Structure 1
Amino acid sequence: MRDKPQLPGHIQAAIDRNLARQNRDAFGRPADSAGATWEGRDLSGPGIDGSTNPLHAFDTDDGLADDAWTKVSQDLIDGNADEKDVFKVLEKIRVFAAVVPTVAETSHHTHVNHNGHEHTVESDKESDVALVSLTSADGRGALPVFTSIPKLTAWYKEARPVAVWMPRACLSAVDEGNELVVVDPGATLTYVVRRPAVYALAQQQQWTPAYEDVQIAQELSELTDLIPGLAQLAMAPGRGVATQTTDGTVVAGGGAGPELALVATPNDPSDTIGNKLMLSTLQTLIADQELLAQRADTVEIMLGSTG
């Protein structure tokens, strides 16, 4: 009778660690965290959102883009939708996060060859997976997500897709320290979801673009009388709200640049020195506006014209 083959030590050690962490019932059988044995358990039943698997919402997922996303992205390109319309779709769709394998623990073994020379061999003891993340032009972290598997593999063929609801993806982005979520990088339309919208999706709350936020406008209106030389302060979409498709079509939403423009109209456009002081004072005062900091991703100040 042949002896049972021996597994490599690091593999056997990993198996032993996993077995040691398993929950067991009173009779020593594998069980869940409540001590209920897995043996004989019936996991059949109706699934989530049409799935046949009660534990998985994406059992029947074909890996293609959701029809709602296809429609709203085309409407955005055609000028028939805006950022609010896109947000409403993102609240409800499945996306794919990209993960790659990583080494969680490495072992080093020293060997001596026949000449008496030592050399070290490095081998993986444990592996894990990690979310792929990006760094935006302004240095902030960004989580890429994809509306379909083909778009993910076209962007990074070594990555593996993990299906997740968009709000859950945004929650993971926040947990990982990312302020932005980039939808379909490298595709015809790449759409950037900025920090306030990411946070709103993660918390499943409503969101209004900063340039349409009435409460921000009310807060800023109180600053007008405090700034010498300022006649009027207005809000408008920032230059970074718009983006372009790969064929150069300008799209009014999904850009990564400044979200909110504050247009400061002076009492005297010809007073160059006075207007510089006005803009400097405005910049100092808005830095202390907590609501603005929370609801506006990035702000640019522009000098308006009285003409």
Structure 2
Amino acid sequence: MTHAHEDDAAGQALPGHLRSIQPTSQFAGDDGTADPELAALLAGHAAGTVPLRDVVARLAACRVLVPVLAELDVAEAVVVDGQELHVDKEASSGVVALQAPDGRRALPVFTSVATMRAWRESARPVPVEAARAALSAVSEDWSLLVVDPAGPVTVTVPRPAVWAMAQGRAWEPALVATQDGLVVDDEVLAAVRLAAEPVQHVVRVGAQPGRTAEVAVVLSIDAGLDRAGLDGVLRQVNARLGASDVVAERVDSLELRIAAAR
């Protein structure tokens, strides 16, 4: 990573976009506690009564604490959503990333000094607006934010939500809750169909919550294609989905499924 550096009050260099806030700044009176509304929403999310969308909306309006470490313990890891995330030993200036098994990196952020100390006692908190932290993650090509990795409630903010926060937009999840459970949002479904339906040999296109990804694109394909033909169809569908602005902005991850053509 390449950053402009500036010394803070403690005499330590920080990246320019995550520099320590001086006493005259908007955070001068910050006592390091969590925003009460955000804390309540996180608790509700853990209990299954508050959707992640509401948590992200409040988070976008709050300050968070970014941890700065003088020394990195490369063996350290935390488990988030069933995945083991390792501290990125290549992080510069003491600002760390968490790396998931799939290679994606996440910026850890904390709601309070207490939750940061529960993760790493020696971490120095740098207060920033959550939107600014999201922008920093995007500028580093880091995909995710992980809120309070050591709890009491840990939340992963997915890539589309990080992008929306960085741009000052409200996050619109690709999956929406209905009485029948989660379904793919109409705009996302329309974009998926617009991308995939023109591909030769594709008969029908659907979308539903995925098993290994956020959204599964379900393709009915002409019977009789050999393996090479099928692979060619899937490559074209993948390329067209990758070129869709709506899919890129709204969908965290995709999987393709083949359904029997009727």
What is the TM-score of this pair, normalised by structure 2?
Answer: 0.67
Give the letter aligned to residue 67 of structure 1: P
Instruction: Name the SS of the counterpart of 2:70 in structure 1.
Output: strand
Contact 1:264 1:279 in 2 (8 A): no
Give the letter aligned to residue 162 of structure 1: V
Residue 101 of structure 1 corresponds to which residue in structure 2? 70
1:85 aligns with 2:54: yes
1:296 aligns with 2:251: yes
Q: How does 1:1-307 map to 2 (within 5 A)?
A: 55-101=24-70, 129-211=93-175, 212-223=184-195, 225-227=197-199, 230-239=202-211, 258-265=213-220, 279=234, 281-304=236-259
| Gap change, CA 1:79 and 1:306, over 3 Å in 2 | farther
Q: CA deviation at 1:259?
A: 2.6
Unaligned runs of 5+ in 1: 1-17, 19-52, 103-127, 241-257
Contact 2:42 2:55 in 1 (8 A): yes
Q: CA deviation at 1:209?
A: 1.6
**Cα distance in 2, alignment partners of residues 81 and 275 from structure 1:** 42
| Gap change, CA 1:231 and 1:91, over 3 Å in 2 | same
Give the letter aligned to residue 64 of structure 2: V
**Cα distance in 2, alignment partners of residues 233 and 189 from structure 1:** 38
Q: Deviations over 1:44-78 (max 9, x none)?
A: xxxxxxxxx99333344332222222221222223
Q: CA deviation at 1:280?
A: 5.1
Q: CA deviation at 1:101?
A: 3.0
**Cα distance in 1, alignment partners of residues 33 and 260 from structure 2:** 48
Give the letter aligned to residue 215 of structure 2: L
Give the letter aligned to residue 153 of structure 2: L
**Cα distance in 1, alignment partners of residues 99 and 209 from structure 2:** 24
Give the letter aligned to residue 196 of structure 1: P
**Cα distance in 2, alignment partners of residues 59 and 223 from structure 1:** 50
State the identity as a percent.
Answer: 33
Q: Deviations over 1:114-171 (max 9, x none)?
A: xxxxxxxxxxxxxx95312222222122110011212111111221111222111112
Q: CA deviation at 1:91?
A: 1.3
**Cα distance in 2, alignment partners of residues 189 and 237 from structure 1:** 24
Instruction: Name the SS of the counterpart of 2:248 in structure 1.
Output: helix
Residue 19 of structure 2 corresponds to which residue in structure 1? none
**Cα distance in 1, alignment partners of residues 205 and 105 from structure 2:** 32
| Gap change, CA 1:264 and 1:160, over 3 Å in 2 | same
Instruction: Name the SS of the counterpart of 2:171 in structure 1.
Output: coil
Mean Cα displacement is larger for which, 136-145 or 226-235? 226-235
**Cα distance in 1, alignment partners of residues 199 and 40 from structure 2:** 46
Contact 1:262 1:300 in 2 (8 A): yes
**Cα distance in 1, alignment partners of residues 36 and 196 from structure 2:** 46
Number of paired residues? 214
**Cα distance in 2, alignment partners of residues 305 and 232 from structure 1:** 10
Residue 109 of structure 1 corresponds to which residue in structure 2? none
Mean Cα displacement is larger for which, 58-67 or 147-156? 58-67
Q: CA deviation at 1:230?
A: 4.2
**Cα distance in 1, alignment partners of residues 98 and 196 from structure 2:** 39
Contact 2:64 2:129 in 1 (8 A): yes
| Gap change, CA 1:60 and 1:233, over 3 Å in 2 | same
**Cα distance in 2, alignment partners of residues 221 and 158 from structure 1:** 50
Q: CA RMSD in A?
A: 3.4
Contact 1:180 1:193 in 2 (8 A): yes
Instruction: Name the SS of the counterpart of 1:130 in structure 2.
Output: coil
Unaligned runs of 5+ in 2: 1-10, 12-21, 72-91, 176-183
**Cα distance in 2, alignment partners of residues 224 and 175 from structure 1:** 30
Contact 1:224 1:231 in 2 (8 A): no
Instruction: Kindly indicate whether structure 1 or structure 2 has the higher relative contact order, using CA contacts under 8 Å at least 6 residues apart.
Output: 2
**Cα distance in 2, alignment partners of residues 72 and 279 from structure 1:** 41
Give the letter aligned to residue 238 of structure 1: G
